[in-house]
Amino acid sequence: MKYTQYSRKRKGSSAFYIVIALCLVLIGVAAWFAFSKINATEPKGNLSSMESQFESSMEEYTEDNSSYNNSENNVIDFTESNPTGEQVSDQEYTSKPEPKKEKTYTMPINGEILKDFSLQALQYSATYGDMRIHAAVDIACSEGTLISAVSDGKVQDIETTADYGKIVTIDHGDGLVIKYCGLKNVTCEKDTAVRMGDSIGAVGTIPSECSDQSHLHIEAFENGKSISILKFFE
């Protein structure tokens, strides 16, 4: 009697565990089936559609960005409208070249023109008693009258000749060279600078024109060509 009851209890316990196990199996199968059904019923096109839209957006962005970068209208050149500090400095502080100072001239003495410059028309020489050309200008003045430099320059030479006595030659620049002839008491020295109006000596005698009235004999050369000193006072 006791054995029979024990057997029944044991069989009941075994059956109970079997039922629990079956329930767990059924729950697992049901969960797997439900999960599989959800995956099976989910529309696959959604993911593909999202991927396609994303790729399309990226392509549009890339194209827009490329066109923006390559567009000439969108390029801003700051170098034209915004000069560098060095450029500004050059513009503000670079000194402009000063305009060339116009050269000025003054007559070496004030007096009557005894003989004008002429390389063609012959003029009478009282000393030689004949007609000859006169490549100089003779200005009447008393002996001892001070002679002034016609313009700024540098004393090129001081010499004494048989025809024109003591001669002071001054290079006045720009190709102009002047010979002041028949001087005495010369106050300048060779290779020294003189300013316009500076005294360079006094009127003396001119051997080749000694029969003429006392005067200054002045010869001028422009780039080596003989010219009239009066050209600068016209």
Cβ burial 103-122 (10 Å sphere, 16+ → b, else e): eebeebbebeebbebeeeee
pLDDT at position 18 = 79
Rounded distance between C-alpha atoms, residue 134 and residue 160, angstroms: 20
Residue with tokens 């000596």: 201
What percent of the chain shows pLDDT beyond 70?
A: 65
The values of phi and psi at residue 142, to 5°, are -75, 150
Residue range 22-81, pLDDT digits in tens? 777 778 777 776 666 655 555 444 545 555 565 665 555 455 554 445 545 555 554 555
Answer yes or no: is pLDDT of 101 > 80: no
Rounded distance between C-alpha atoms, residue 234 and residue 230, angstroms: 7
- Residue with the bigger pLDDT between 134 and 54: it is 134
Answer yes or no: is pLDDT of 129 > 70: yes
Taking alpha carbons only, the member of 178, 182, 136, 134 closest to residue 157 is: 178
Cβ burial 132-159 (10 Å sphere, 16+ → b, else e): eebebbbbbbeeebebbbbbbbebeebe
- Domains of the chain by range and CATH? 113-233 (2.70.70.10)
User: Which two tokens mark 74?
Assistant: 């969108």
Residue range 64-98, pLDDT digits in tens? 554 445 545 555 554 555 555 555 455 554 566 66
